[in-house]
Amino acid sequence: MGEFIFELDEDMAKDLLIKVLATSKIPFLKNLFKHISSFKFKDNKIILDILLFSFNVKIKSYPETISGVYVFEHNIPVKMLKDQEFPEFVEIEDNLILVKIPTNNILKNIHINEFKIENGILRIKLGIID
């Protein structure tokens, strides 16, 4: 069985996030990311320093296959997020972000062997389920 390894470094992730948010319908996040002073990947966390604040998003759990629910812990003030319109597959709770990827015939056969953040790299290893 082969593996597909996807790696994203901090600089590429920051650039990608800024480009995605440039066309976003979520004005709070769009404006917030214009002021990032530091963007780090460390210990399964994404750490954002914005103006005088430090926010982090940490991998809590992920499904066995690509489709399913990804759970992230965060320390972003929920009051700032509650009024924002997120895609229907994203839910924000007090200290959790839930990303729900729907299943289909292709995604249900791709196994997540590894999903971690360390040493400045987001790494996802995927394999095919036999």
pLDDT at 1 over 70: no
Q: Is the CB of residue 44 less than 8 Å from the CB of residue 31?
A: no
The residues spanned by each domain of the chain are 3-128
At 8 the pLDDT is 94
Give the residue, 20 or 121, on which the prediction is more confident: 121
Give the residue, 78 or 98, on which the prediction is more confident: 98
The per-residue pLDDT for range 20-60, each reduced to its tens digit, is: 777 777 776 777 777 778 889 999 999 988 888 898 999 99
- Per-residue DSSP letter, 79: H
CA–CA separation, 73 and 101 (whole Å): 17
**Given its phi and psi angles, is residue 77 left (phi above 0), alpha (psi -120 to 50 degrees) or beta?**
beta
